[in-house]
Structure 1
Amino acid sequence: MDQERIASAITRVRETLAEHAAEMRYRDSEAIATIEAGLRVKVNGPHGASIVTDMPNGVGGEGSAPSPGWILRSAVASCVATLIAMRAAEEGVDLPGLEVMVDSESDDRGLLGIGAVPAGPLSMRVIVRAQGTSDDARAREIIAWGKAHCPVCDAVERAVPVQLTIELPGS
């Protein structure tokens, strides 16, 4: 059963983290973006992972792939869903029909540098649906725990320092 396998794996990781806490900080794998054509970008990662993004026609893209903003929202949605499923497995709770929807409110003036508008989303909303739960209070606790422990959601909510390094020939 998937829930048992997941719960067992989480237990092993928790034990390892407890035993080796000082060794658990690490640098995440790189995402390397390359312009393919126009505003179409291919991003390569470890073990052959890749995604492609493009911008909508309105800003000069071809609309041939999801935008980076949609990828961000999909990252939040999939991460929250994953963390809820992990917690539910640990707790032995079935959350049938689990669905996480993420949207955001944006103002394109920010990405175009017009005025003092932030470039990123102005707000984000996470809506979680589950069907046929036998204990709604417990389901709500698990869902709230999953959202609170989602690393992608945390990165969106918390100010994460971003360092820019520019490498040019002759520098």
Structure 2
Amino acid sequence: MGQDKIATAIAAAREYLTANPEEARYRDSAATAVVENGLRINITGVDGSSTVTDMVAGVGGGGTAPSPGWLFRAAYASCVATLIAMRAAESGITLDRLEVTVDSESDDRGILGIAADIPAGPIRAGVAVRAAAAGVDAETLRGIISWGVAHCPVDDAVRRAVPVELRVDIG
């Protein structure tokens, strides 16, 4: 989809949701994970989309697919890139280059339950953005990037404590 179509779609969505705020909030589509074999997991969505994860051999996986942690970083990078591209399109700016890299640092003692004071998730995460647009000054690009990061749902979920409800069905 071209820049103009993206900008037009965003403007229409913004106008509609401003006029109909009760339709802005909804339950996101679920992802369902099912163990295929060992630590290889098949994840499907209600729309038929799917992906697979696996863990490394060091913890009993087969190493046949990306780990859930890598998919998290991929989702984070993809989300940031998407929101930056959306903001650039809205601003009438064509990006010649946009690359977003998300990395993190973890301590496996947390995921393995070795030390109660070490979190199971990442200890820190980093987002690196490389962007270029002919004729656009660095300050404008930084503003678009900052807006994109600030409005990325995955970045928001990382930075803000999100209430999680655990429902368990045995049997």
Asked whether the two chains share a fold, i.e. TM above 0.5, the reply is: yes
Correspondence 1:1-171 to 2 at 5 A:
2-115=2-115, 116-134=117-135, 135-169=137-171
Counterparts of 1:23 and 1:7, CA distance in 2: 21
When the two chains are superposed, the root-mean-square deviation of aligned CA atoms in Å is 1.0
Question: Identity percentage over the alignment?
Answer: 59
Counterparts of 1:86 and 1:152, CA distance in 2: 15
Q: Which 4+ stretches in 1 moved above 4 angstroms? A: none
Contact 1:96–1:133 (8 Å) recurs in 2? yes
Contact 1:95–1:139 (8 Å) recurs in 2? no
Q: Mind listing any 5+ residue stretches in structure 1 that lack a counterpart?
A: none
Secondary structure of the 1:48 match is coil
CA deviations 1:47-92 (Å, max 9, x no partner) are 2100100001111101100000000000000000000000000001
Q: TM-score, normalised by structure 2?
A: 0.96
Secondary structure of the 1:10 match is helix
Q: Mind listing any 5+ residue stretches in structure 2 that lack a counterpart?
A: none
Secondary structure of the 1:154 match is helix
Contact 1:133–1:139 (8 Å) recurs in 2? no
What is the CA distance between 1:133 and its match in structure 2?
4.0
Closer, same or farther in 2 for the Cα pair 1:92/1:112, shift >3 Å? same
Secondary structure of the 1:18 match is helix
Counterparts of 1:124 and 1:79, CA distance in 2: 15
Aligned residue type for 2:18: A
Aligned residue type for 1:145: W
Secondary structure of the 2:118 match is coil
Q: TM-score, normalised by structure 1?
A: 0.96
Counterparts of 1:17 and 1:60, CA distance in 2: 47
